[in-house]
Amino acid sequence: MSASIEQRLQALEDRAEIAALIARYGPAVDSGDGDAVRALWTDEGTYVIDDVTLDAGGIRTLTELPTHQEYMSAGCAHVISAPRIQLTGDAAVATTHSVVMIHDGERWNAERVSANRWELARTVDGWRVSRRRNHLLNGAAAARALLTD
């Protein structure tokens, strides 16, 4: 049985909302707005960067880390690819690539190129990230695994 027009419309709206949510991450982190970064996650959400897991407080203070402050002082851009989104009711998984670009004199250098898996949940406030995993694309199987279905 094929999906009804209402179900298909809901899926399109969900995909658009999730894509917009993920797109807000780069500008929020690059502007140093920790509250805006934190608002993308659920209250219990986590962000796993390689082997480090950040809880809500860690996500909120991500922009205050010395490394991130150095990035912003030099000029940085967190660029995220268009997400591939899989919907399952009130849950979704999105996979993306991300590149952190750092300004260095006349050049922009790719400081970090990663694979990302965003696990999302529909909340009363709309879609939010429940868990994001980010691993460097350095040949490790863990990074490649994030990009598979």
Summarised one tens digit per residue, pLDDT across range 84-115 is: 999 999 999 999 999 999 999 999 999 999 99
pLDDT recorded at residue 72 = 97
Domain ranges, ordered by start, for the chain: 5-146
State how far the Cα of 147 lies from the Cα of 98, in Å rounded to an integer.
12
pTM: 0.95
Q: Would you identify the CATH topology of the domain 5-146?
A: Nuclear Transport Factor 2; Chain: A, (3.10.450)
- CB neighbourhood size of 54 (10 A): 17
Which tokens sit at 71?
A: 């990035």
